[in-house]
Amino acid sequence: MMSTPRGQTKQRFRPMPLRTMNRTRQRVFGAMPSAQSLRAGRPMARAEAVLQSEAAQGTSTTLRPPRAPLARDVGGPLFYAHAGHHHAPTGPRPKWHAWVNLGGGLSDAPAVCSWASGRLDCFVQGLDNALWHRWGDGTTWSGWESLGGVLTSAPGATCWGPNRIDVFVRGTDNALWHKWWDGHTWSNWESLGGVLADAPSVASWGTNRLDVFVRGTDNALWHKWWDGTAWSGWESLGGVLTSAPAAVSWGANRIDVFVRGTDNGMWHKWWNGSSWQGWENLAGVLSSAPAASSRLANRLRCFARGADAGCWERSWNGSQWSSWTRLVGGIITSAPAAVASDKNRIDVLARREKNTLWQKTWAP
């Protein structure tokens, strides 16, 4: 069970000294280093990555995870809608497609964000512990680009505007580090302090707004935000986490955060524009951190690695949560990452066999 949140009193993490994050900009295009290409800690930047596609079809079946406890309902979640209209879809209905191998060599789970329809920017901790980047336009993928650094966790990433990307990682000092793309160049690494027990997650609900969530060394959920001018201090949101968090926003001043609790179930906490709500139990049996995405106002789709190592999904349709559903197509070896690049497209990425990156798409 999750512990009772400790109120909204802001507390500060103990800052750590700056150490070994690489501030030298390194831009290497081509393949990520494979396990075979790493010799004495020196990656061969041109090691080949094999691209494949899985023959299995990507339909989904509805199954319940074993030993899943029943979820409790939380009375009155405070949702409010985006401006705009939702029209019934025309043309082919979206469906899950087969997993596709994107190659590379991952040390941990990927992160993915989108700043335009069909655009995906994927970030991973490579086998050399550097940050690596690959992007797709909905049709083709770039080669791998090294962004340097020395990571000790999976990254987290978000986009708050066209051609703007913010990436967060845990460094060798266990602090939070930040790197961003401004549409022209990558910044140097910025230290934001703190002592992280796991990978960070980040969401954005408006232009030049960033909300970062981490699991602290006390296993509570911690929050730090950028308001367009300055970074806040660290705020404890309580709970007892056994994974990194996942955060997503579906509207202005709205944030949804998901974690794995001590019962290995998925738990949910949200900001409704004025206050943080209590923890909601969404059950399941997770063997990884969750991932979250939103393609429309008041819609959520969450993913996690189940006890059977499959990729499982649970969604909120604006009035109720679905059951857990297993996505067909084998097992994953990391937490998934998910993003919606438009109202009819969701992409899930995860590490699978041989430490390679795989993509599964829900689209027409």
Q: Which has the higher per-residue pLDDT, 3 or 234?
A: 234
Query: pLDDT at residue 350 above 60?
Result: yes
Would you say residue 4 lies in a domain?
A: no
What separation in angstroms does the CA of 146 have from each of 6, 46, 291? 40, 11, 24
Mean pLDDT calculated for residue range 7-16 = 38
Per the structure block, which two tokens stand in for 212? 């970062």
What is the predicted pLDDT for the residue at 188? 98
Per the structure block, which two tokens stand in for 278? 């209590």
pLDDT digits (tens, 9 = 90+) for 69-115: 322 222 222 222 233 334 455 678 999 999 999 999 999 999 999 99
Per the structure block, which two tokens stand in for 332? 């994953």
What pairing do the DSSP bridges indicate for beta strands 210-215 and 201-203?
Answer: antiparallel
Range of the domain at 62: 29-74+95-363
CA distance 173 to 344: 40
CA distance 301 to 318: 11
pLDDT band at 39 (very low <50, low <70, confident <90, very high): very low
Would you say residue 49 lies in a domain?
A: yes
pLDDT digits (tens, 9 = 90+) for 313-349: 999 999 999 999 999 988 999 999 999 999 999 999 9
CA distance 314 to 163: 30
Rg (CA), the chain: 19
DSSP label of 119: -
Query: One-letter amino acid identity for 257?
Result: V
Enumerate residues 6+ apart whose C-beta is below 8 A from 351: 106, 108, 109, 110, 332, 333, 334, 357, 358
Burial environment of residue 46 by CB neighbours within 10 A (0 to 12, 13 to 18, 19 or more): exposed
What is the predicted pLDDT for the residue at 90? 64
Enumerate residues 6+ apart whose C-beta is below 8 A from 54: 98, 99, 100, 101, 329, 330, 358
What is the predicted pLDDT for the residue at 330? 87
pTM of full prediction above 0.75? yes
Query: One-letter amino acid identity for 231?
Result: W
Would you say residue 21 lies in a domain?
A: no
> In sequence order, what are the beta bridge partners of 270?
256
| Element holding 192 (H helix, E strand) | strand 190-193
> How many C-beta atoms lie closer than 10 Å to residue 179's C-beta?
24
For residues 13, 249, 348, 200, the Cα torsion angle rounded to the nearest 10 degrees is -10
Count of structural domains, the chain:
1
Coil, strand or helix at 37? helix
What is the predicted pLDDT for the residue at 91? 76
CATH code (residue 47)? 2.120.10.70
Percentage of the chain exceeding pLDDT 70: 75
pLDDT digits (tens, 9 = 90+) for 23-33: 333 333 334 34
State CA 14 to chain mean position distance.
25
CA distance 269 to 77: 10
Query: pLDDT at residue 176 above 60?
Result: yes
Compute φ and ψ for 36, nearest 5 degrees. -70, -25
Query: One-letter amino acid identity for 225?
Result: W
DSSP label of 274: S
Would you say residue 9 lies in a domain?
A: no
Would you say residue 86 lies in a domain?
A: no
Coil, strand or helix at 355? helix
Enumerate residues 6+ apart whose C-beta is below 8 A from 87: none
What is the predicted pLDDT for the residue at 73? 25
